[in-house]
Amino acid sequence: MQGHDDLYPNAELPSFLWRSASYQTILAVSTLSRLFIYGFNKTEVNGLPRFLDLLKSRSDYKTRRRGLLTVSNHISVIDDPLIWGVLPLSFAAFHGYMNNRWSFGSHDICFQNTALSHFFTLGQVLPTHRMYHSPYGGPFQATMTEGVRLLSQISSRKMSFCPHNDPRLHQTYHTPSWPRDCVDPFSDVVPIAAYPSQPSDERWYHAPSRYACNSYSWVHIFPEGMVHQAEDQTMRYFKWGVARLILEPPECPDVVPMFIEGTDQVMHESRRFPRFLPRIGKKITVTFGSELDVEAVFGDLRKRWRELADEDARKRGHSSWNEIMLGIVPESLAHHPEAIELRKECTKRVRDAVLEVRRSRGLPDEDPKSGLVETWLREGPKRNGRMDDGSWVKDA
């Protein structure tokens, strides 16, 4: 267990001004997204009433009993926030307060400067490093720790591990401040509720896992990790980060698979001048699958994960796995052969759930090899543009 100096108390809420700025940012983006997909395109939504009922049942963070994880394919750089325009504005305005999705955005795209960093932080996007662009990428980066914690219970009466107080880091990190750093300048929380996305990051980011109001949050992830546009609407392999979000929270989050169609035509990677403008007059379809029976689908994997975590903790001198360290995976467990196999199997089951939604759209079954890493390694090192199979890819 960490020493007392490494622990901090959580707070109940960010400041009113921070919450207001975040709420208004998300409401404005939701309004523009809805105007675009319904005013300038033809949009079809399947399974929305069921999904809305689930979201509305989670409106009060004090009564939530588990997190919510939505998972989908990724076919356009504007999938998020565009797909959330299918949610009625009444939801965003009323039921969405403190109940909107958290998502992951590329650090090198969404957080290039202070202005962009503030906008995306207020829009509940977490900075994610991609291994192709940063040595700090991968499934065990700091932002994935935030993701695991957001899907867990956060108590203002409990102590949590605080990397900011780690004396090993003081030589590298500055003390977070506003406006350079994306932190709540009106909060009296000490130490400041913030974290660096990687050791050499020039700014700190708001840490939502410091606040009880973010207990059992809704997190959305695109496990392909990059845009993939194919005529037959196949998906790339899913990356392991999604498995961490299912295996590690003390209570398994609800999981809702989704499938997106048509946004690739709005912003296709083959588009020419003006590339920055989305195309109109397209047909967009968003399909929400049924909520998974998480105990039936993931129960055995989660049970074995906890056993491995407890075994690892005992080897390091602790009686069992400690929730204070939630979201922080020691090297011994990160690279444990059985832990790797658990992540692989969990990721496969998630992808199978999304494939089931894809199948409900009348699309033919994929080649089973499409879900294997080895299949996509044959693409070679190229990360953007048209591939040999005719599909288009982009880091996003």
Q: In the prediction, which pLDDT does 94 show?
A: 92
Write out the residue range of the structural domain in which residue 253 sits.
4-296
Burial profile 293-323: b = 16 or more Cβ within 10 angstroms, e = fewer: ebeebbeebbebbeebbeebbeeeeeeebee
The answer to whether residue 269 is domain-embedded is yes
The answer to whether residue 290 is domain-embedded is yes
Q: In the prediction, which pLDDT does 366 show?
A: 87
Q: In the prediction, which pLDDT does 3 show?
A: 46
- Threshold 0.85, pTM exceeds: yes
Q: In the prediction, which pLDDT does 387 show?
A: 73
The answer to whether residue 283 is domain-embedded is yes
The answer to whether residue 357 is domain-embedded is no
The answer to whether residue 224 is domain-embedded is yes
Q: In the prediction, which pLDDT does 200 show?
A: 82
The total number of structural domains in the chain stands at: 1
Q: In the prediction, which pLDDT does 33 show?
A: 98
The answer to whether residue 193 is domain-embedded is yes
Q: In the prediction, which pLDDT does 95 show?
A: 92
Question: Per-residue pLDDT tens for 124-148?
Answer: 999 999 877 788 889 999 999 999 9
CATH code, domain carrying 104: 3.40.1130
pLDDT string in tens for the chain (396-residue length): 444 456 778 899 999 999 999 999 999 999 999 999 999 999 999 999 999 999 999 999 999 999 999 999 999 999 999 999 999 999 989 999 999 999 999 999 999 999 999 999 999 999 999 877 788 889 999 999 999 999 999 988 877 766 555 544 444 567 889 999 999 999 888 888 999 998 888 899 999 999 999 999 999 999 999 999 999 999 999 999 999 999 999 999 999 999 999 999 999 999 999 998 999 999 999 999 999 999 999 999 999 999 999 999 888 887 777 777 789 899 999 999 999 999 999 999 999 999 999 999 999 988 777 777 766 565 655 667 777 766 777 766
The answer to whether residue 349 is domain-embedded is no
Question: Per-residue pLDDT tens for 63-97?
Answer: 999 999 999 999 999 999 999 999 999 998 999 99
The answer to whether residue 124 is domain-embedded is yes
